[in-house]
Amino acid sequence: MAIDKNEPSKLRWGELEEDDDLDFLLPPKEVIGPDENGIKKVIEYKFNEEGNKVKITTTTRVRKLAKARLSKRALERRNWEKFGDAVREDVGSRLTMVSTEEILLERPRAPGTKQEEMKVAGDSLAQLSKGGAVLMVCRTCGKKGDHWTSKCPYKDLAAPVETFVEKPAASEASVAAPGAGKGAYVPPSMRAGAERSTGSDMRRRNDENSVRVTNLSEDTREPDLHELFRPFGAVTRVYVAMDQKTGTSRGFGFVNFVNREDAQRAINKLNGYGYDNLILRVEWATPRTN
Amino acid sequence: MRPILMKGHERPLTFLKYNRDGDLLFSCAKDHTPTVWFADNGERLGTYRGHNGAVWTCDVSRDSMRLLTGSADQTVKLWNVQTGTQLYTFTFGSPARSVEFAIGDELAVITTDPFMELTSAIHVKRIAKDPTEQIEESMLVIKGPQGRINRAVWGPLNRTIISAGEDAVIRIWDSETGKLLRESDKESGHKKTITSLTKSADGSHFLTGSLDKSAKLWDTRTLTLIKTYGTERPVNAVAMSPLLDHVVLGGGQDASAVTTTDHRAGKFEAKFYDKILQEEIGGVKGHFGPINALAFNPDGKSFSSGGEDGYVRLHHFDPDYFNIKI
pLDDT bucket at A51, cuts 50 / 70 / 90:
confident
Question: Within a 10 A sphere around the Cβ of A277, how many other Cβ atoms?
Answer: 10
What DSSP letter does each residue of B119-143 carry, written as one string? PPEEEEEE--SSGGG---S-SEEEE
Look at A103 and B1 and tell me if their CB atoms are within 8 Å.
Answer: yes
Question: Any chain A CB within 8 A of the CB of B326?
Answer: yes
Look at A78 and B38 and tell me if their CB atoms are within 8 Å.
Answer: yes
Partners of B198 in beta bridges = B207
**How high is the pLDDT of residue A175?**
41
- Smallest Cβ–Cβ distance between B64 and the set A77, A84, A245 belongs to A77
Question: CA geometry: angle at B163 spanning B162 and B164, to 5°?
Answer: 135
What is this structure's pTM? Answer: 0.61
**How high is the pLDDT of residue A173?**
40
Q: What are phi and psi of A125, to 5 degrees?
A: -60, -45
Partners of A166 in beta bridges = none
In whole angstroms, give the CA distance from residue A240 to residue A21: 67
Strands B140-143 and B149-154: what pairing?
A: unpaired
In whole angstroms, give the CA distance from residue A202 to residue A206: 8
- Smallest Cβ–Cβ distance between B41 and the set A65, A105, A278 belongs to A65
**How high is the pLDDT of residue A145?**
59
Q: Helices (DSSP H) in chain B: which residue ranges?
A: none
Name residues 205-244 of chain A within 8 A of B (Cβ). Answer: 218
Question: Any chain A CB within 8 A of the CB of B186?
Answer: no
DSSP class of residue A107?
P
DSSP class of residue A168?
H
In whole angstroms, give the CA distance from residue A242 to residue A110: 12
Question: Any chain A CB within 8 A of the CB of B116?
Answer: no
- Among B100, B155, B94, CA closest to B121: B94
**How high is the pLDDT of residue B313?**
93
Encode B25-48: b = buried (16+ Cβ within 10 Å), e = exposed. bbbbbbbbbbbbbbbbebbbbbbb
In whole angstroms, give the CA distance from residue A167 to residue A156: 21
**How high is the pLDDT of residue A172?**
42
What DSSP letter does each residue of B30-44 carry, written as one string? TTS--EEEETTT--E
pLDDT bucket at A193, cuts 50 / 70 / 90:
low
* Interval A95-123: pLDDT, tens: 888 887 788 888 776 544 444 434 433 34
pLDDT bucket at A22, cuts 50 / 70 / 90:
low
pLDDT bucket at A90, cuts 50 / 70 / 90:
low
Residue B156 distance to chain A (closest CA, Å): 27
In whole angstroms, give the CA distance from residue B249 to residue B294: 8
* Interval A225-279: pLDDT, tens: 888 898 888 888 899 998 888 888 888 999 988 888 888 889 988 888 888 888 9
In whole angstroms, give the CA distance from residue B272 to residue B276: 12
**How high is the pLDDT of residue B35?**
93
**How high is the pLDDT of residue A85?**
81
For the ranges A28-37, A89-98, B36-45, the lowest mean pLDDT is seen at A89-98
Question: Any chain B CB within 8 A of the CB of A95?
Answer: yes
Give ipTM to 2 decimals: 0.75
Cβ atoms A251, A213 nearer than 8 A: no
Strand stretches in B19-168, DSSP E: 24-29, 35-38, 44-47, 55-60, 66-71, 75-80, 86-91, 96-101, 107-112, 121-126, 140-143, 149-154, 160-165
- Among B78, B79, B72, CA closest to B46: B79
Q: Which of B6, B10, B21, B246 to mutate to test the interface with A (most CBs of A within 10 A)?
A: B21
Question: Any chain A CB within 8 A of the CB of B84?
Answer: yes
**How high is the pLDDT of residue A174?**
41
Which chain B residues are closer than 8 Å to A245 by Cβ? 232
Cβ atoms B240, B227 nearer than 8 A: no
Per-residue pLDDT of chain B (326 residues; tens, 9 = 90+): 888 999 989 999 999 999 999 999 999 999 999 999 999 888 899 999 999 999 999 999 999 999 999 999 999 999 999 999 999 999 999 999 999 999 999 999 999 999 888 889 999 999 988 888 888 888 899 988 888 999 999 999 999 999 999 999 999 999 999 999 999 988 899 999 999 999 999 999 999 999 999 999 999 999 999 999 999 889 999 999 999 999 999 988 765 445 554 445 577 889 999 999 999 988 898 888 899 999 999 999 999 999 999 999 999 998 888 887 76
- CA A227, A230, A232, A237 torsion-angle sign: positive
Residue A24 confidence (pLDDT) above 80: no
**How high is the pLDDT of residue A196?**
52
Percent pLDDT > 70 in chain A is 56
3-class secondary structure, A286: coil
In whole angstroms, give the CA distance from residue B86 to residue B88: 6
Q: Write the burial class of residue A24 (CB in 10 Å: 0-12 exposed, 13-18 middle, 19+ buried).
A: exposed
3-class secondary structure, B305: strand
pLDDT bucket at A35, cuts 50 / 70 / 90:
confident
Q: What are phi and psi of A116, to 5 degrees?
A: -70, -40
Q: Looking at chain A, which residue has its C-alpha nearest residue B315?
A: A103
Encode A184-217: b = buried (16+ Cβ within 10 Å), e = exposed. eeeeeeeeeeeeeeeebeeeeebebbbbebeebb
* Interval A155-189: pLDDT, tens: 655 444 444 434 444 444 444 444 344 567 777 77
